[in-house]
């Protein structure tokens, strides 16, 4: 589901992605954080490349994570752009952008938090589909190998989200691209979790009919986590451009995510809902509360979309305003410390 970024697990009670290996987030032991937070900033303005740090995009400030640590959040999904991190294919990573990631991972580690690096590129590199002759698989595999080589030993890293929301022409190539990404990561990092999104914006509702071929992916570490996205507006785009319908069903979000969760269970796979967010309308907030309750009974984490210092008046932003919590946090917050019986 496309967001305004540019202009703007799980068999039941299976071990979660971030706890699959005891050395990933030791302080959690065998307990699973069930609420994660998306933090946007380094991936803003993806049509302005490379862009200016602090103007077109920005990394979070040095004390940024204090606000989420104090609220109990322990896992952050940080969106970054391939083009900024590696402006030229099969060449070295950009020094300044990579150092921005270094600093954020260190911020997280110092606060006993972990980061999932999200390659927020929609199955494309400079707007050309990965897997075609314009962007061969070797480019992407090499890139993911470099990413893993640089950060595999960083204590702030939880894992790698291979690609945000492949869609359109990218769908046909996605299984091969995902396997290339897995191969690249495993060439450097034999341990940490790899998050695999699905076709058509990683659509949760249609996941079973679109993504059966992802079951064929091979990971020698057996540490793949499937990550669906879902929103509660009429067209499921996440833009919420029309007013909430008077007849809005507050079970809609649960019903949209069930096909994905049931697919995970049928196939004995682990997963998470990597993006979900709502504007502060009462009906949407109630739907989110029901969704969180449902997912937590199934031991499936949810990563809220979105936090970050650059959002301004973006209606889905959960970023505190002048130190005051947003209405969305009144719903999300009580679920943060829930672990139920999840291992």
pLDDT at 338: 67
Q: Whole-model pTM? A: 0.91
The pLDDT of 60-64, averaged and rounded, is 96
Which uninterrupted H or E stretch holds 84?
helix 82-85
The pLDDT of 35-42, averaged and rounded, is 97
pLDDT at 116: 97
Contact 11, 265 (CB under 8 A): yes
How high does pLDDT run on average in the chain?
Answer: 91
CA atoms 89, 115, 272, 21: torsion sign? positive
- State how far the Cα of 210 lies from the Cα of 186, in Å rounded to an integer: 25
For every residue of 169-197, DSSP letters joined together read GGGGGHHHHHHHHHHHHHTT-SSSEEEEE
Q: Is 238 a residue whose pLDDT tops 60? A: yes
Contact 196, 178 (CB under 8 A): yes
Using pLDDT thresholds of 50, 70 and 90, give the confidence band for residue 337. Answer: confident
Using pLDDT thresholds of 50, 70 and 90, give the confidence band for residue 340. Answer: low
Backbone φ and ψ for 6, nearest 5 degrees, come out as -75, -55
pLDDT tens column, 98-116: 999 999 999 999 999 999 9
Q: At what angle do helices 137-151 and 95-110 cross, to 10 degrees?
A: 50
- State how far the Cα of 261 lies from the Cα of 10, in Å rounded to an integer: 8
pLDDT at 323: 85
Query: What is the radius of gyration, based on Cα positions, of the chain?
Result: 18
For every residue of 34-69, DSSP letters joined together read -EEEEE-STT--TTSSS--BTTTB-PPPTTTTHHHH
Catalytic amino acids? 165, 275
CA dihedral 75, 125, 154, 218 (to 10 degrees): 80
Domains of the chain and CATH, by start: 17-335 (3.20.20.80)
pLDDT tens column, 103-159: 999 999 999 999 999 999 999 999 999 999 999 999 999 999 999 999 999 999 999
């Amino acid at each position: 589901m496309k967001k305004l970024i540019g202009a703007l697990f799980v068999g039941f009670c299976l071990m979660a992605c971030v706890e699959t290996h005891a050395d990933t987030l030791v302080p959690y032991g065998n307990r699973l954080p069930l609420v994660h937070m998306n933090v946007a900033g380094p991936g803003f303005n993806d049509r302005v490349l490379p862009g200016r740090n602090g103007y077109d995009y920005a990394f979070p400030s040095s004390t940024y994570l204090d606000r989420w640590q104090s609220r109990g959040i322990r896992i952050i999904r940080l969106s970054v752009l391939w083009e900024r991190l590696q402006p030229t294919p099969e060449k070295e990573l950009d020094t300044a952008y990579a150092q921005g990631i270094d600093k954020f991972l260190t911020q997280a580690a110092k606060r006993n938090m972990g980061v999932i690096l999200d390659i927020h590129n929609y199955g494309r590199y400079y707007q050309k589909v990965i897997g075609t002759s314009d962007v061969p698989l070797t480019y992407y595999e090499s890139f993911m190998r470099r990413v893993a080589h640089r950060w595999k030993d960083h204590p702030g890293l939880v894992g790698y989200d291979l690609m945000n929301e492949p869609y359109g022409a990218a769908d046909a190539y996605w299984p091969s691209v995902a396997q290339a990404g897995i191969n690249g990561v495993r060439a450097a990092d034999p341990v940490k979790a790899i998050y695999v999104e699905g076709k058509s914006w990683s659509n949760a509702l249609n996941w079973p009919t679109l993504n059966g071929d992802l079951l064929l992916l091979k990971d020698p570490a057996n540490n793949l986590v499937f990550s669906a996205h879902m929103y509660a507006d009429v067209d499921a785009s996440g833009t919420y451009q029309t007013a909430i319908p008077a007849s809005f069903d507050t079970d809609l979000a649960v019903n949209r995510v069930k096909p994905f969760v049931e697919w995970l269970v049928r196939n004995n796979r682990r997963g998470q809902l990597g993006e979900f967010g709502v504007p502060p309308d009462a009906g949407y907030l109630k739907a989110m509360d029901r969704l969180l309750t449902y997912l937590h009974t199934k031991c499936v984490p949810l990563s809220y979309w979105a936090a970050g210092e650059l959002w301004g008046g973006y209606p889905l932003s959960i970023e505190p305003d002048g130190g005051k919590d947003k209405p969305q946090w009144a719903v999300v917050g009580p679920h943060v410390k829930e672990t139920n019986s999840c291992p």
